[in-house]
């Protein structure tokens, strides 16, 4: 009986870990698309470093996911040999980069969530989850410093930068509700003391977001509508295009190593 | 061959960090444990940042060094917890950084908590990082990230030189 319960938890934990790992991986890949294209050299380096942190975090989550699944899949198999419907990332992170402002707005909305989630996960009943969260949390906090600072500077900048940041906020806002929509995976993992229910993070997130957006002279869109589905494998069309590039090598040359 | 762990630590103190070669791996604080398990030497290493590309090179350098010193049975282990912090930079390491032109971390890790960071978002002043060349406190942050994940880019308004700041983590 205990084994059956454990199996249910480990099935859900596997999916929950994929949500963490896939969101970090897909956002890391998106941010890495800026490499060599940023408006100034310092920002190019900064974006590449943020991408590196995220991809490093993805490796920690996906390696653990593979161990929990117990079918011999490691970080590489999970990253490169799954198709779009088997990815469990948030819709927010797969949205195209757009201009520099939209990239920073997406980063800010995600960083504020990450900082709160990872802080809560440091008290996870699962020791490995707590360790990864403690490591990743320090990086996420630094990312938030940077993305919040730039959102304020660009929002409260020129009329052109303000206009672009307001447009970015309106485009991305409808993808933020998914961060706080718990489902049965979250319920099982939460009952096991591994993670909080996503809903419990929303008011703190809103506090951070409101404070920064107010200073950035930006207005939160007046809508409660939210797209969902990413974490259960229903994605926007953008993810397939991203994977086609990210997974090209393994698709063209299966099993290639160097 | 089974030499004392003290000797192993001395050997590891001769391995430079691949990205900041003025520091040794022991200055950096990434070697967390050295022990013998029967006939196998086990070295425990922690990454600085999750995605730091130097991690793989560090592991390779440790292995190369110890094998060249005659260690045959060797295993490297990665340890995430407790996470690496700049508090583990040795005092010698901090002095070496400064002499090399990189400002060592000046904050305490306590200020790095989420609440500490959020209060800084709401307007608390940026920290003062003295210029490693002329010592002036009149410096400004150019970018939150420098040439590696562990550094930020600063500029001195006194001597006008740019410099790296090894940021607190």
* Smallest Cα distance from A131 to chain B, Å: 6
The span from the CA of A227 to the CA of A34, in Å, is 26
Check residue B126 and give its pLDDT. Answer: 64
Phi, psi of B111 (to 5 degrees): -75, -5
Residue among A46, A50, A134 whose CB faces B83 most closely: A134
Which of the four pLDDT bands, split at 50, 70 and 90, describes residue A1? very low
Q: Is A120 on the interface with B (CB under 8 A)?
A: no
Tens-place pLDDT, residues A73-114: 999 999 999 999 999 999 999 999 999 999 999 999 999 999
Lowest mean pLDDT among A157-161, B29-33, B107-111: B107-111
d(CA A217, CA A198): 28
At B156, list the tokens.
């001195």
pLDDT for B122 beyond 60 = no
pLDDT the model gives residue A5: 66
Nearest residue of B to residue A151, measured between CA atoms: B121
ipTM, two decimals: 0.84
Is A146 an interface residue toward B (CB < 8 Å)?
yes
CATH superfamily assigned to domain A2-252: Ferritin, core subunit, four-helix bundle (1.20.1260.10)
Residue B119 has pLDDT above 90, yes or no: no
Residues 6+ apart with CB under 8 A from A205: A112, A113, A116, A179, A180
What does B119-154 look like in DSSP terms, one character per residue? HHHTTPPPPP---TTT--S-EEEEES--SSTTEEEE
Q: pLDDT of A22-55, one tens digit each?
A: 999 999 999 999 999 998 888 999 999 999 999 9
Instruction: Say what the pLDDT of residue A99 is.
Output: 97
| Mean pLDDT, all residues of chain A | 95
**Could you give the percent of chain B with pLDDT greater than 90?**
62
pLDDT at B148: 80
For residue B117, the chain A residues in CB contact (below 8 A) are 115, 141, 144-145
pLDDT at A159 over 70: yes
| Cα A39 off chain centre by | 24
Establish if A123 touches chain B: CB-CB under 8 angstroms.
no
Task: Specify the DSSP class assigned to residue B28.
Answer: H
Residue A208 at interface with chain B, using a CB cutoff of 8 Å: yes
Tokens found for residue A37: 């294209």
The domain segmentation of chain B, as residue ranges, is 5-84, 91-166
Domain boundary assignment for chain A: 2-252
Q: Is B80's CB within 8 Å of A148's CB?
A: no
Q: pLDDT-based confidence at A57, cuts 50/70/90?
A: very high
Nearest Cα residue in chain B from A52: B51
**B27-82 pLDDT, tens digit each:** 999 999 999 999 999 999 999 988 888 888 999 999 999 999 999 999 999 999 89
CATH number assigned to the domain covering B5-84: 3.30.300.130
Indicate the pTM of the whole model: 0.91
The SS3 call for residue B51 is coil
pLDDT digits (tens, 9 = 90+) for B125-147: 567 899 999 999 999 988 888 87
- At B107 the pLDDT is 66
Which stretches of chain A are assigned E, i.e. beta strand? none
Q: Which runs of consecutive H residues, i.e. helices, occur in B23-151?
A: 25-28, 54-68, 91-100, 114-121
Tell which residue, B16, B18, B53, has the closest CA to residue B149: B53
Confidence of residue A7 (pLDDT cuts 50, 70, 90): confident
**Interface membership of A54 toward B (CB under 8 Å):** yes
Subunit contact B83:A135, Cβ cutoff 8 A:
yes
**Rounded mean pLDDT of A171-194?**
97
Give the pLDDT band (50/70/90) at residue A12. Answer: very high
Q: What is the pLDDT of residue A3?
A: 63
pLDDT for res B106: 84
- Are the CB atoms for B135 and B101 separated by under 8 Å? no
A237 part of contact set with chain B, CB < 8 Å: no
């Amino acid at each position: 009986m205990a084994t059956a319960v454990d199996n249910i938890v480990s099935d859900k934990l596997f999916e929950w870990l994929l949500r963490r790992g896939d969101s970090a991986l897909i956002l890391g890949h998106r941010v890495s698309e800026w490499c060599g294209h940023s408006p100034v050299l310092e920002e190019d380096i900064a974006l590449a470093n943020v991408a590196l942190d995220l991809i490093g975090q993805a490796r920690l989550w996906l390696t653990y996911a593979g161990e929990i699944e117990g079918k011999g899949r490691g970080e590489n198999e999970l990253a490169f040999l799954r198709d779009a419907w088997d990815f469990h990332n948030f819709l927010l992170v797969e949205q195209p980069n757009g201009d520099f402002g939209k990239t920073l707005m997406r980063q800010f909305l995600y960083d504020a969530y990450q900082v709160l989630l990872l802080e809560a996960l440091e008290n996870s009943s699962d020791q490995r989850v707590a360790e990864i969260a403690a490591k990743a949390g320090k990086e996420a906090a630094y990312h938030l410093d940077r993305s919040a600072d730039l959102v304020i500077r660009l929002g409260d900048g020129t009329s052109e930068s303000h206009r672009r940041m307001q447009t970015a906020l309106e485009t991305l806002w409808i993808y933020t509700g998914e961060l706080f929509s718990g489902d049965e995976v979250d319920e099982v993992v939460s009952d096991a003391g591994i993670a909080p229910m996503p809903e419990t993070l929303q008011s703190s997130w809103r506090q951070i977001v409101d404070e920064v957006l107010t200073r950035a002279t930006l207005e939160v869109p007046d809508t409660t509508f939210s797209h969902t589905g990413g974490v259960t494998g229903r994605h926007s069309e953008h993810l397939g295009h991203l994977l086609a590039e990210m997974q090209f090598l393994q698709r063209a040359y299966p099993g290639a190593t160097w | 061959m089974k030499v004392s762990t003290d000797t192993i630590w001395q050997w590891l103190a001769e391995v430079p960090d691949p990205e900041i070669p003025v520091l040794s791996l022991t200055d950096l604080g990434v070697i967390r444990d050295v022990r013998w398990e029967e006939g196998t030497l086990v070295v425990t290493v922690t990454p600085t940042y999750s995605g730091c590309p130097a991690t793989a090179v560090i592991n390779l350098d440790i292995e190369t060094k110890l094998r060249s010193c005659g260690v045959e049975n060797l295993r490297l282990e990665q340890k995430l917890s407790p996470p690496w912090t700049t508090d583990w930079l040795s005092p010698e390491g901090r002095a070496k950084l400064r002499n090399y032109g990189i400002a060592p971390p000046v904050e305490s890790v306590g200020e790095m908590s989420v609440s500490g960071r959020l209060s800084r978002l709401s307007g608390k002043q940026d920290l003062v990082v003295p210029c490693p060349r002329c010592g002036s406190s009149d410096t400004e942050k150019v970018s939150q990230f420098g040439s590696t994940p562990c550094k930020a880019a600063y500029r001195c308004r006194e001597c006008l030189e740019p410099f790296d700041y090894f940021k607190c983590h």
